[in-house]
Amino acid sequence: MSVKDYPRVADWLTTEGDHLLIHTGKVDIGQRISTALVRIVQEELSLPATQLDIAPVQTGHAPDEGITSGSNSIEQSGRAVALAAATLRSGVLELAASQHGGTRADWTLEDGFVLRPGTNIRISLIDLADELPTDLPIDPDLSRHSPQRPLPPDMRGITDMVQGKFTFLHDLDLPGMWHARRVSPPHARATLRDIDQSAIDKIETKGLHILRDGSFVAVAGPREWDVVKAATALGLACTWDLNAGLPEADVLAQLTADTAQRFPVVNGTPQDTPVPEPLPAPDLSARFERPYQMHGALAPSAALAEWTGERLVLRSHSQGIYPLRTAIADSLGLDPDQVEITHVPGSGCYGHNGADDAAFEAALIAMALPGTPILLKWTREDEHAWEPFAPAMAVQVDAKMSDGRITAFSAEAFSDTHRGRPRPGPNRAGPAKLLANRFRADPMTPYISPANMGTHAGMHRNLDPIYDFPETRLVKNLVRGLPHRTSAMRCLGAVANIFAIECVMDDLARQADKDPIALRQTHLNDPRASAVLAELERRVQARPALSEGVGRGLAYAQYKNIMTRVGIAVEVSVTDTAEVTLEHATIVADAGRVIDPDGLTAQLEGGFMQAASWALCEQVTWDRDGITSRDWDSYTVIRFDNVPQIDVVLLDNPERPSVGAGEASPGPTVAAIANAIHDCTGLRLHRMPFTADALTQAALAL
């Protein structure tokens, strides 16, 4: 897709002095895409890392690659950059041969130079690249070059981050810049009735600016602490109409076929056809549930905006700067060319958290204060209460067995939409998904997304088992009218679906009195999947014998059934107070050709730890008056004292394409932990998180 839209080498690679500049539309949010792209170019061109830079990801300049999501960065941007580099390689070799004699085969690249062995001819690769036509088209048929020696590690920006010198978005400080804070309503259904005028007067006499647009209220001023205090005071001076408040019913109980729009899923793709009948008399039937959960970014969302009178210039940690530009321009009655967004990293930011909303809110304030850069920061309470949550989800699984083999398998996924990003669409879909547009004087009704009918998209991602079953019945159930705004969080529906499928695989293995890896191997026809499980089994067998009170669970999955294959084994113990302790984890992964081993390992480990936190700790809570999980005490995340030793094994397949890995490990992690708890305690937990209370209740129910 990326090469088709941007078919020239110069769309991806340009020279700047004695450097080669790499252009990408994918943003680096800690997944190390910058490092991977540098390594891809190094492999092709043998350039030192010191001669390679990543261009700013900025609308109007970077390729429009949509949203950095779905573990697609390597497959899209990485492939485009690799082909551009291979074409440039071919071009400079041809140029050297034409200028200095010989054939292409007589020339080679080494450490930034084009050389002809046996001669003293040594030409700068950058100089030759400068001579290539600016409209040189990418040759999509060129094969990848394999370097003769491994590349040294080079993680972009890591030194500054470790030393505390890295400039995150929140750290920006421009001349004449003002700070801003929003004043949040109690909950999403509240509207502003009035503000005490005396409080307004007191704030304005201090030289601060108050913006009120319907129920959207914010304060801006030159000194941040003054703005923080003023926003707190202004919030206390507001009178809100709470309307009916938030519904307090059990959302998971509302996820049923009776409340859903239903679609059968075939080969990972929903069909607009009648839903097939349920499996008759299944041998196993179980329902698995996931509550609302949040991104929990390390730093709350922020944005910097300036309205010049003609152009709106934004800095944002959004993962989709082009769709966001369109949505903001539409919201403000501007032409998209009047809006420029540059990606600047935010600490611990990924997924559709509050970044897009903060950017739009900063823009609203900047439009009211022309010529003044505005740095808006959400508070921790803002982030926890107002970011789009991962939807609550349920998965019903039924299966039949005969002679130790699974003969029929049914899975139904139930969820609200995972599509809350402000993408353009009919009925002004982009603006309708920006939070502040719900509260402005001319409010927009929250957008109702149509069912996502893409392959392995939304709630039905990884609903289709990777295993070879004779009969499958898969159903997507879209349930609307639930209480919270939801959108994309890492893996989308894959986490709940793999949790359900892999727990059932373990339970079926026990029913059939078979080893859980052997049962999985029996139903796999992919040699690479079998190799992952065989290596996982070898690593597990090499581990010391389990201590008394320690259980082991495992799980396998291939993200979207086409990306990285991952097998995970987890060892856990359970304390006398029913707390789960993670003792050890083994991860075996096949991501095709490995570009950045350290980065791939970090992604797999990071995915494990985030999923472990989801599995053991995380849950959004609320009452009729609003979200109650507004800090790290009320929204618990995993702590350092429960981080296990993690051994990661990478099965490199250099002749295979590199595939996405950023979301490959969370699904099997949750399932492996659930299976380990079952092995340790005999308790099968069907609802996340697996807290001490959940284990206690399960034990009492026996």
| pLDDT tens figures, 678-689 | 999 999 999 999
- Residues in CB range of 160: below 8 A, 6 or more apart: 166
Task: Give the pLDDT confidence of 4-57 residue by residue, as tens digits.
Answer: 999 999 999 999 999 999 999 999 988 889 999 999 999 999 999 999 999 999
Q: Where are the beta strands (DSSP E) in 575-672?
A: 580-590, 622-623, 626-627, 645-650
**Where does the pLDDT of residue 148 fall: very low under 50, low under 70, confident under 90, or very high at 90 and above?**
low
pLDDT of residue 380: 97
Report the distance separating Cα 612 and Cα 671, nearest Å.
Answer: 10
Strand order in the sheet with 393-402: 269-270, 260-266, 471-479, 405-415, 393-402, 284-290
> Please, what sign has the CA dihedral across residues 424, 425, 426, 428?
negative
Q: What was the pLDDT predicted at 485?
A: 97
Please give the Cα distance from 79 to 37 (Å, whole number).
9
**What is the rounded distance in angstroms from the CA atom of residue 628 to the CA atom of residue 503?**
31
Q: Which long-range contacts (CB under 8 A, 24 or more apart) does 36-39 make?
A: 36/73, 36/74, 36/78, 36/595, 36/596, 36/599, 37/77, 37/78, 37/81, 38/154, 38/156, 39/151, 39/154, 39/595, 39/596
Going along the chain from its start, the domains and CATH numbers come out as 2-145 (3.30.365.10), 177-244+295-386 (3.30.365.10), 393-417+452-700 (3.30.365.10)
Taking 70 as the threshold, does the pLDDT of residue 425 lie above it? yes
SS3 (DSSP) at 203: helix
Place of tokens 């790290």: 632
| 434, 354 contact by CB (below 8 A) | no
- The residue ranges of DSSP E strands in 559-686, in sequence order, are 565-574, 580-590, 622-623, 626-627, 645-650
Cα–Cα distance between 300 and 384 in angstroms, integer?
9
**Pairing verdict, β 191-195 and 113-115:** unpaired
Q: Which residues contact 132 (CB under 8 A, 6 or more apart)?
A: 9, 88, 91, 92, 95
Per-residue DSSP letter, 251: G
Q: What are the phi and psi torsion angles at 514 (to 5°)?
A: -120, 155
| Phi–psi pair at 257, nearest 5 degrees | -65, -30
Question: What are the structure tokens assigned to 461, written together?
Answer: 């991602």
Q: Is the pLDDT of residue 243 over 70?
A: yes
Contact present, 363 and 313 (Cβ < 8 Å) = no
Beta strands at 312-316 and 645-650: parallel, antiparallel or unpaired: unpaired
DSSP 8-class letter at 77: I
> Coil, strand or helix: which one is 544?
coil
Band (pLDDT 50/70/90 cuts) for residue 96 is very high
| Local structure of 415: helix, strand or coil | strand
Residue 297: φ, ψ to 5°: -60, 150
- Single pTM value for the model: 0.96
> Tell me: the pLDDT tens digits for 613-651?
999 999 999 999 999 999 999 999 999 999 999 999 999
Band of pLDDT at residue 149, cut at 50, 70 and 90: low
501, 446 contact by CB (below 8 A): no
Q: What pLDDT is recorded for position 1?
A: 58
Quick one: angle between helices 355-368 and 321-332, nearest 10? 40
Asked if residue 273 has pLDDT above 90, the reply is yes
| pLDDT value of position 146 | 76
Alpha carbon separation from 315 to 134, 283, 296, 342 (Å, rounded): 30, 55, 21, 5
| Average pLDDT of the residues of the chain | 95
Q: At what angle do helices 197-204 and 224-237 cross, to 10 degrees?
A: 170
Which has the closest alpha carbon to 237: 187, 196, 203, 201? 196
Tell me: pLDDT of 520 over 70: yes
Q: How confident is the model over 152-160, as a mean pLDDT? A: 75
- State the CB neighbour count (10 A cutoff) for residue 241: 12
pLDDT at 659 over 90: yes
Residue 551 DSSP SS3 = strand
Indicate if the pLDDT at residue 174 is higher than 90. yes
CB 353 within 8 A of CB 386: no
Task: Say which residues have a Cβ less than 8 Å from residue 81's Cβ, sequence separation at least 6.
Answer: 12, 13, 22, 24, 37, 40, 41
Q: What is the pLDDT of residue 27?
A: 93
**Token pair of 220 as six digits:** 């801006």
Q: Please state the rounded mean pLDDT for residues 138-152.
A: 81
State the Cα–Cα distance between residues 55 and 69, nearest whole angstrom: 20
Over pLDDT 70: what percentage of the chain?
Answer: 99
Residue 156, pLDDT score: 74
Average pLDDT estimate for 68-78: 89
Contact between 677 and 689 under an 8 Å Cβ cutoff? The reply is no
CA distance 207 to 111: 58
The DSSP output letter for 108 is: E
Q: How many CA atoms lie within 13 A of 281 on its CB side?
A: 2
The rounded distance, in Å, linking the Cα atoms of 318 and 303 is 9
**HEC string for 302-365:** EEEEEECCCCEEEEECCCCHHHHHHHHHHHHCCCHHHEEEEECCCCCCCCCCCHHHHHHHHHHH
Look up tokens 């698995």; give the residue.
288
Structure tokens given for 336: 């998209």
Q: What are phi and psi of 223, to 5 degrees?
A: -115, 125
Q: Which residue has the tokens 């110069």?
A: 10
The predicted model gives 230-248 an average pLDDT of 97
689: cis peptide before it, omega within 30°? yes
Place of tokens 């739009």: 360
